[in-house]
Amino acid sequence: MRRRWVGGLLAAALLLETAGMAAAADPEPYPDMHGHWAEPYVEVLRTEGVTDGFRVQVQRPYGRVWETRFRPNQNMLTDEWVVLAAKVFNLTPVPVTWTHRLDGGQEVSAWLAAASQAGWPYGRTKDPVTRAEAVDLLIEALGLTPYAQSLPSRRVDQILSVYTDEYRLAGRRRRQVAAATLLGIVEGYPDRTFRPTSYMTRAEGATMLARSALARVDAAPNPFYPDGDGYEDETVFTLTGLRNRNLSRWSLAVTTGAGFTLWSTGAGIGGIVALPPEVVWNGTRSDGSPVNPGEYFYQLSIWDTRNQRFDSVRKPLLVGVRRLEGGLSPVEADPGSTLSLWADTWGDAQEVRARLAGDGSTVLLAPSASSSEPRRWTGSLPLPPDLAPGQHAVHLEASFGPVERTLTLLFTVRDVIHLDAWLEPASLPAGQSLSVWAETRGTVTAVTAFFADGSSVNLAPQGAGRWLGTYTVPVQTPPGPQRVLIRAEGPAGSRQVERWFEVTGDIRSRVQTLLVD
């Protein structure tokens, strides 16, 4: 290598790069980061003990010395990215029997195993990591994949329209990058490109993690339901900050999508403060009034004693409501008819049932294919044929995990007369007795049978809606079919049915009977 002397001193160094292992935490600032645009981010990661540099031997005027360099403009390999992220997110190393070394010589198999165990997506470890691959892993590590993958396609297209090369994003990573853009984790280049397949430099990777993961906050449960039923009424924020730097201040805020602060808490004006591990929020504004159900965002900000600020990723928080509404039709029904039922639910309803009060019969309502709120459920409930006239109730019951919401729907059963009748026996000779049976539902005050000879018989109640009367067929009745009209009467009106019986015998037997009489 060429040597250049300046003022009698050796200014350019002979670099004898080796695969010597860097310390677990590189003890000194990286000389090659001085004046680099990413210096503040790499330096804070170094002081947090999570970076892995490259040990090189440098020729100085006073001899050869060892330095640890970061190589900020070198493409970041996949294993370097995964290990750096695993350390920043404080994963627990997983002992394995195989080995893997970074190009800087560090043995990192336990960190790679930890990332795999956490479900982080990454490719071939010695390939340079692309911007899209890096974002995919970061969104997963931040616990935002469910949110990203739930974004509607039209919303994803709208978010990514800021990039002229958005068409190069597909599949899972399309939604991951959309969420990262929406939440301010990444942004494009000045020419409005995202360059998803471009390789990420080590400086860019370090900066992405420093800006999104040194201050972290998670909320659980999310969504939560501050409706006063004692179940999931609050959410608990878990706070994580710098490990190796004292804090002078911290602030946690819940904001609207437009950035308006609804609630905040924090501590520190001067001196050193401790970051609490947890903060509880009950869904109220700073003035104590409840927030409306909807999507909000939460973010943690911390300041070290040098007044350097670190912000967590702005994460979504859903304040939900578990609500049940519904209806039925018709509101006036006949016994034995069928009610049509519908229910709308807000929240994580798992099942909706309809139960007829007093009867106990229950049906499950079927959910619509769409999961958007409110979710529609529909079903049918057959009414018993003997259901008494008057007002009745159907209880809708929606199950939301261990809690339920109920709604009572009222309907009226009309006082409708139902009548059925039969004759015993169906055929008989003249002069014999015929039993007339009737079965009624509804309010019935009288049942009468009218015969072809002009006579009538009032049927007597037998209980349970049954009536019975007896008629003696006149001896002079000729053989053949005979018509009977049975009529039931009550406050709601009357209903009648027609029945027939057969008179048996011949002319001679009938004449003989008349002569005897």
Count, residues in the chain: 517
**Helix 78-88 × helix 131-141 angle, to 10°:** 20
Q: What does the pLDDT read at residue 443? A: 86
Q: What does the pLDDT read at residue 340? A: 97
**What is the CA 101 to chain-centroid distance, rounded?**
41
3-state secondary structure of 401: coil
The residues that bridge with 326 in the sheet, in sequence order, are 343
Q: Report how far apart, in Å, the C-alpha atoms of 316 and of each of 146, 216, 222, 319 are.
A: 11, 13, 9, 10
Question: For residues 450 and 487, is the Cβ–Cβ distance under 8 A?
Answer: yes
With b for 16 or more beta-carbon neighbours within 10 A and e for fewer, the 335-354 pattern comes to: beeebebbbbbbbebeebbb
Helix, strand, coil share (%) of the chain residues, nearest 5: 20, 40, 40
| Sheet containing 63-69, strands listed edge to edge, beginning at the edge strand earlier in sequence | 15-17, 54-60, 63-69
Q: What does the pLDDT read at residue 442? A: 81
Q: Report how far apart, in Å, the C-alpha atoms of 495 and of each of 34, 422, 438, 451, 491 are.
A: 102, 15, 12, 17, 11
Sign for the CA dihedral angle at 433, 426, 437, 459 comes to negative
Q: What angle do CA 31, 33, 36 make, to 5 degrees?
A: 145
Give the separation between CA 446 and CA 487, rounded to whole angstroms.
8
Domains detected in the chain: 5-69 (no CATH), 216-319 (2.60.40.4070), 324-413 (2.60.40.1930), 418-516 (2.60.40.10)
Low-confidence ranges of the chain (pLDDT < 70): 1-25, 270, 506-517
Q: What does the pLDDT read at residue 10? A: 28
Q: What does the pLDDT read at residue 506? A: 60
Give the separation between CA 448 and CA 442, rounded to whole angstroms.
16
